[in-house]
Structure 1
Amino acid sequence: MSIFIANLAFEEAAMLQQAKLATLIAFVLAVFLGVVIFRVFVREFEDGVGP
């Protein structure tokens, strides 16, 4: 959806490429943080320390 909105917002190729790259970086960062947080909570749950 972000890339679709960027296509509508930016006509200049350089700005569109920056928007696509920023979207990709944000996606990769979100996946990485999600995996890290998930693993921390799974370890705590397995150890019986979880909420």
Structure 2
Amino acid sequence: MYIDSFNSYVNSDATGQSLAGYSPSRIGGASLTTYAFSNAIDTIRAQAKA
């Protein structure tokens, strides 16, 4: 249930956004989820630049 909710939110929020400028505001209703997801995006950005 939580994974489906997460997927649904990210798909609707991130679709059409540039990875360089995408910053999720609140995912899954929990600040730690948003923080972890933002860290994952930062890691992807860093790896894409390498």
The alignment's TM-score, normalised by the length of structure 2, stands at: 0.48
Higher RCO (CA-CA < 8 Å; seq separation 6+)? 2
The alignment's TM-score, normalised by the length of structure 1, stands at: 0.47
Report the structure, 1 or 2, having the larger helix content: 1
Structure exhibiting the larger radius of gyration computed from Cα positions: 1
